[in-house]
Structure 1
């Protein structure tokens, strides 16, 4: 791309190089389009650099440390020390390797990557501002907006990057905090709270509602809650954070309880705010196009990921929930293929979700309540991991697999897993729902023994009324 007053052009402008953006750019280039990808920060977006990847690396390290310190009744004795700075160096290396890989793939497939910011001046023209301040005008035939989202602010606790932090800063800390207060009890709070507790932090979680993980099946949440209690995590339900004061260089967070009407103060070295996300749909010139936003600021799209402006598409977090990298991957491919004239559409039946708690929770499709609300008469089957030979050999017997099916014909509607390696088990479940499989299909599929996936077939058999091992 030439920088200066000269107007240059491309077939597809992709704004944002996160999971959705770089996949869309590569796929469009594979399909013969001239693609320019504009990213103001680092390729890979929040997921690769400040979210999915670094969090899972640190969770893995914390799990190793905790498991070595707490081997259970197996008969192993150990003494464990760890160097958190070294762990973070390893973590940074993992992130860099993946980020460099994305850059390599973009180059290999002919995607022109520009470091800077894009501002739409119309439905076919954008002003590109490079990191050194130089600008250029770019004319495009189609644009894909993939600018992602950012952590929502909590009014009484504005981010300062030092004391009051988002998940981004939490994942880049150089020292393990002594005391951490977490505002919010969604999946980020539970994942990071559990991780820090295993590293030795005294963790306190403040939640306005009566339970954590409000959108997750209650039976699964109960198992995770019990483990959090064993880890010493304090959870203040039905409570509201009201403000903070500084005393001897540390924060004192004031909370009030709806249940007791008492006011409590909690000590904190770090205050992690994790109360949701806001779309990055402002300051990119959408008002100069025909793109419409919903009342929360997310870009409205159809099943082809096309916005209300026929030249412009939107994918990933900026196009609304669920806020999942794998959903953005799929959307990026759809948008690129539609632009290339292929009959693509985001028509997936199943979008799995995973919470890397302890134990893990993974879910796909409808739960019992939502299935009933959708008008289905349902049948369910559950298989506990305490009856699994493989779970017993791993000393990981907490949790279960539950299947939800249409009682009339046995079609699988949802599968929910809480337990060890749930994140690895959910893909078979997701494929089953995507393929419109039935209970009988899962039940008669031979699963190798002894393995955790056997629990999927066992749960299906339970729903069919012919359970063997429970």
Structure 2
């Protein structure tokens, strides 16, 4: 991961930063560290998507739903009496929002207030020239800004499917779903990717009757075995998953949604549309600065996060980068280095990703299909969780761990895992890939017994051994 020019090379530069989320904050702080003066412009809530309406509130909600599920049902019900929990959604929501407010103040507002070299403007920014912005201030009036460099980090918003009648109904996006103090009796979720599956399971575990309409299959961009495992887990919990199903029309009457779908008519009390996110680039007047976008509105950038206007940079969800806040923050830091005379690149070849369903989905590197599309001959093994001692001790065998290796060299090039707490093991896999370890190297490592991450070692051992014939913690 190339990062050069780490000195103080931004002295005298004025950098405008549009946005205040993960990418924007990382860029602003790194630019100040390197001697620049920053004007940060935010049109909405300080902190962007992740802390306010994305990662943080959704994971709090998912965790609360997981606790509710375990009180209602667990593998140990034979010895621990189960009970049906009372879900006080308004109180859970208050707890969730309090933690969001705490983190926003500690990690965003407080830091900005304590950094004199960053001036914060609250308002809507748009380009008025190659080196200038106009900001429509929330307090009234307009302010012009000139800059030496500019960094765009305006994020993305929920994409709305073009379904006839949908716009005339009070449907939810993820934003409304996370902020609602009501739990619908019947919920339909349109979508099959990360946000759709995470929220669908959370609402089901709070007691809602949930139906998912998947245009293809769940998590269709991943290895097919991942979608199959999550679909099986969902159906076991009573979630109705309709694959290869689309809504043709939506109506709303007498507090009820009526969906005409390829599987017939479906009625529900609330509809959640989770069909992806669209870059927030349309109101910036990018053409005034010579900044180009792709077909979906994503700002086009190069390996250094530079746009077609060489003094203007961008990163995060408003570009074509993977939509993860840790990618955005890393890209923001590197963009700031480049804006102030350095040379930094972002290497995403070992980017880990987690879907916070239960079981979780965790991936890094190439899937078999991706590797083969690149002409890499692969060798792979899939370990069922019945061979992982931690899973046996948990009485929870849902999922698998799959390792993908380069057949010619034996090097590990990809890992896909579906398992409870799979997110806690994937970084070890990422480090193994980064270190160019072979599967035999991985098999020879010491892993603590009765941990889920030990499944990586066991999966690596299957390339040369029958792990069913090994003792519990055989090395």
What interval of TM-score do these two structures reach, taking the shorter chain for normalisation?
over 0.9
Q: Does 1:242 align with 2:248?
A: yes
* CA-to-aligned-CA distance 1:91-119 (integer Å, 9 cap, x gap): 10111111111222233344322221211
* Structure 1 partner of 2:138: 131
Q: 1:115 to 1:10 in 2, by over 3 A?
A: farther
- Aligned to 1:185, the other structure's residue is in SS state coil
Asked if the contact 2:218–2:230 (Cα under 8 Å) also holds between the matched residues in 1, the reply is: no
* Structure 1 partner of 2:376: 376
How far apart, in 2, do the equivalents of 1:14 and 1:223 lie?
A: 42
* Structure 2 partner of 1:410: 410
Asked if the contact 1:361–1:423 (Cα under 8 Å) also holds between the matched residues in 2, the reply is: yes
2:52 counterpart (49, 54, 58): 49
Q: Does 1:168 align with 2:212?
A: no
Q: 1:106 to 1:437 in 2, by over 3 A?
A: farther
The 5 Å alignment of 1:382-397 reads 382-397=382-397
Q: 1:128 to 1:231 in 2, by over 3 A?
A: same
Q: CA deviation at 1:464?
A: 4.0
* Structure 1 partner of 2:315: 315
* Structure 1 partner of 2:43: 40
Asked if the contact 2:231–2:241 (Cα under 8 Å) also holds between the matched residues in 1, the reply is: no
How far apart, in 1, do the equivalents of 2:328 and 2:440 lie?
A: 32
How far apart, in 1, do the equivalents of 2:138 and 2:27 lie?
A: 23
* CA-to-aligned-CA distance 1:399-448 (integer Å, 9 cap, x gap): 12111111111211111110011111111112222333322332222111
How far apart, in 1, do the equivalents of 2:352 and 2:244 lie?
A: 29
How far apart, in 2, do the equivalents of 1:40 and 1:395 lie?
A: 49
User: What CA RMSD, in Å, does the superposition of the two structures yield over aligned residues?
Assistant: 1.9
Flag structure 1 segments of 5+ consecutive residues without an equivalent: 1-8, 258-263
* Structure 1 partner of 2:81: 77
- Aligned to 2:129, the other structure's residue is in SS state coil
Asked if the contact 2:15–2:39 (Cα under 8 Å) also holds between the matched residues in 1, the reply is: yes
Asked if the contact 2:165–2:251 (Cα under 8 Å) also holds between the matched residues in 1, the reply is: no
- Aligned to 1:29, the other structure's residue is in SS state helix
Q: CA deviation at 1:158?
A: 6.7
Q: CA deviation at 1:466?
A: 6.4
Q: Does 1:17 align with 2:20?
A: yes
How far apart, in 1, do the equivalents of 2:105 and 2:169 lie?
A: 28
Aligned residues: 455
Q: CA deviation at 1:84?
A: 1.0
The 5 Å alignment of 1:433-448 reads 433-448=433-448
* CA-to-aligned-CA distance 1:235-266 (integer Å, 9 cap, x gap): 22222212233343212111124xxxxxx221
- Aligned to 2:90, the other structure's residue is in SS state helix
Asked if the contact 1:182–1:204 (Cα under 8 Å) also holds between the matched residues in 2, the reply is: yes
How far apart, in 2, do the equivalents of 1:31 and 1:20 lie?
A: 17
Q: Does 1:103 align with 2:106?
A: no
2:193 counterpart (178, 183, 186): 186
* CA-to-aligned-CA distance 1:110-143 (integer Å, 9 cap, x gap): 4322221211111211112221122211111100
Moved runs in structure 1, 4+ residues, more than 6 A? 158-162
- The two structures have a TM-score, normalised by structure 2, of 0.91
Q: 1:37 to 1:10 in 2, by over 3 A?
A: farther
- The two structures have a TM-score, normalised by structure 1, of 0.92
Asked if the contact 1:150–1:279 (Cα under 8 Å) also holds between the matched residues in 2, the reply is: yes
Q: Does 1:88 align with 2:93?
A: yes
- Aligned to 2:458, the other structure's residue is in SS state helix
Q: CA deviation at 1:81?
A: 2.1
How far apart, in 2, do the equivalents of 1:212 and 1:251 lie?
A: 23
Q: CA deviation at 1:27?
A: 1.5
How far apart, in 2, do the equivalents of 1:297 and 1:249 lie?
A: 35
Asked if the contact 1:14–1:38 (Cα under 8 Å) also holds between the matched residues in 2, the reply is: yes
Q: 1:453 to 1:132 in 2, by over 3 A?
A: same
Asked if the contact 1:187–1:213 (Cα under 8 Å) also holds between the matched residues in 2, the reply is: yes
How far apart, in 2, do the equivalents of 1:438 and 1:161 lie?
A: 55
* Structure 1 partner of 2:34: 31
* Structure 2 partner of 1:149: 156
How far apart, in 2, do the equivalents of 1:127 and 1:465 lie?
A: 65
User: Which has the larger displacement, 196-205 or 388-397?
Assistant: 388-397
* Structure 1 partner of 2:233: 227
Q: CA deviation at 1:72?
A: 2.2
Flag structure 2 segments of 5+ consecutive residues without an equivalent: 1-11, 471-475
Q: 1:402 to 1:136 in 2, by over 3 A?
A: same
* Structure 2 partner of 1:4: none
How far apart, in 2, do the equivalents of 1:21 and 1:353 lie?
A: 21
- Aligned to 1:116, the other structure's residue is in SS state strand
* Structure 2 partner of 1:204: 211
Q: 1:158 to 1:47 in 2, by over 3 A?
A: farther
